[in-house]
Amino acid sequence: MLDAATSTGLCNDQAMLDDWYVVAYAREVTPGAIVPIRLLGRDLIAWREEDGTAHVWEDICIHRGARLSKGWITENAVVCPYHGWRYAGSAECVLIPAAPGQPIPPKARAFPIRSVEQDGFIWATLGAPAHQPPAFPERDVPGFRNFMAGPYLFRANGFRAVENFIDITHFPFVHAGVNGVASNPDVIPDYEVTRTDFGLKSSEIVVLQPVGDFRGVPVRAGYTYSTFRPLVAYFSKRLEIADPAQAALGSPGDRFTTFFTVQPIDEVTCIARVLFAINFAPHLTEADMQPRQDIVYGQDRDIVETQRPERIPTDLREEMHHRTDRLGVAYRRWLRELGISYGTV
Ligand code: FES
Ligand SMILES: [Fe+2]
């Protein structure tokens, strides 16, 4: 990897470097396009060869340091916009236009970043994770249809965004009229949080939601949360239609699950991308469901962007923790145990 700083605010936190992050939707990285990406203060590009292979590289040309993201694709290769050097999928320079037909120095290469395509996302890492990217639990579960929502740019810390995603007591206020009722907030009973091989898992927490899913019906919703990585969280929501007159619309197995991924751009800016799945209402399309997702995640963004300090405190003496924040408390403890310093105070 090139040592030259391609940007400011570089991350030196090994725990963060040695992890996988979603950096793009697979479907936005199409052959012929160069997608600029910023991850942990570092500028990258993603592009796709005609055979479908996706690449993530540093956004820099070894010749004179120009940005490849300002270039273009010609003949299945990335063209640097400055002197036109061309880099093939192997990362080798295959053309120096000012000296065609002459040997190209082997050092003339792009700088690949480790990446994989999984569950409709491009995942990248700047380090050497000891594990694979977490898998979407409903990936191969019969009866579920998967959809994407976002991207949602949060001018906020990624851990604050994840903690909000796994926070149940904000529903009646931040999502009043959708996920809760401000005049009649849910009373949250004790619930359990357990450690798993991969992170944290809560027991089911039941709340009443006026518009708890995409059918526009009131539901009793049972949330079971997990964190798979510090910046990848998930819930499985059990849906029971709360209005007896409409109960026939649903069935006891109805589930709405959400895989919430966060790309840390820097310590106080992130992009959330959402993969969600339902096993009911087969007539609903992604376009039908996107507006509700945009409303809910927009409401979350608006509140999370106000939180101060911007970096999440992992010392539990900071801020104030209540019994009903058990999952958030476990999350902060876990971040601390992982030794994460980037984005925390
Ligand atoms: S800087 Fe890229 S070709 Fe010269
Ligand atoms: Fe929320």
- What is the tens place of the pLDDT at every residue in 141-158? 999 999 999 999 999 999
Comparing C-alpha atoms, which of 284, 148, 275 is closest to residue 216? 284
To the nearest 10°, the Cα dihedral for 277, 149, 226, 172?
A: -100
**How far does residue 68's CA lie from ligand 1's centre (Å)?**
9
Pairing of strands 112-118, 54-58: antiparallel
Per-residue pLDDT band for 212 (boundaries 50, 70, 90) equals confident
**Residue 54 beta carbon below 6 angstroms from any ligand 1 atom:** no
**Residue 159 beta carbon below 6 angstroms from any ligand 1 atom:** no
For residues 244-252, give the mean pLDDT.
93
For residues 301-322, give the mean pLDDT.
98
Dump pLDDT digits (tens) for 188-211.
999 999 999 999 999 999 999 999
Dump pLDDT digits (tens) for 76-98.
999 999 999 999 999 999 999 99
* Residues comprising the chain, all counted: 345
Ligand closest to Cα of 99 equals 1
For residues 94-111, give the mean pLDDT.
98
Query: Which protein residue has the closest C-alpha to ligand 1 atom 3?
Result: 83
Give dist(CA 144, CA 277) in Å, integer: 6
Dump pLDDT digits (tens) for 112-131.
999 999 999 999 999 999 99
Report whether pLDDT(7) > 90: no
Per-residue confidence (pLDDT) for residue 271, from 0 to 100: 98
Report whether pLDDT(9) > 90: no
Comparing C-alpha atoms, which of 228, 8, 224, 37 is closest to residue 136? 228
* Residues, beta carbon < 5 Å, ion ligand 2: 300
**How far does residue 306's CA lie from ligand 2's centre (Å)?**
14
**Residue 83 beta carbon below 6 angstroms from any ligand 1 atom:** yes
**How far does residue 96's CA lie from ligand 1's centre (Å)?**
9
Contact (CB, 8 A) for 268 and 157: yes
Average pLDDT along the chain: 96
Model confidence, pTM: 0.96
Sign of CA dihedral 189, 190, 196, 199: positive
Question: Could you tell me the CA-to-CA distances from 294 to 4, 249, 320 in Å, in that order?
Answer: 38, 24, 30
Ligand closest to Cα of 98 equals 1
Per-residue confidence (pLDDT) for residue 234, from 0 to 100: 98
Angle between helices 158-165 and 286-304 (to 10 degrees): 120
Per-residue confidence (pLDDT) for residue 8, from 0 to 100: 55
Per-residue confidence (pLDDT) for residue 148, from 0 to 100: 98
Give dist(CA 42, CA 126) in Å, integer: 9
Give dist(CA 182, CA 173) in Å, integer: 5
**Residue 323 beta carbon below 6 angstroms from any ligand 1 atom:** no
Contact (CB, 8 A) for 302 and 154: no
Per-residue confidence (pLDDT) for residue 16, from 0 to 100: 98
Ligand closest to Cα of 95 equals 1
Comparing C-alpha atoms, which of 147, 102, 124 is closest to residue 289? 147
Query: Which protein residue has the closest C-alpha to ligand 1 atom 1?
Result: 64
CA of residue 313 relative to chain centroid, distance: 21
In the beta sheet, which residues pair with residue 54?
48
In the beta sheet, which residues pair with residue 67?
none
Give dist(CA 139, CA 111) in Å, integer: 31
Per-residue pLDDT band for 32 (boundaries 50, 70, 90) equals very high
Contact (CB, 8 A) for 226 and 233: yes
**Residue 66 beta carbon below 6 angstroms from any ligand 1 atom:** yes
Dump pLDDT digits (tens) for 218-240.
999 999 999 999 999 999 999 99
For residues 16-33, give the mean pLDDT.
98
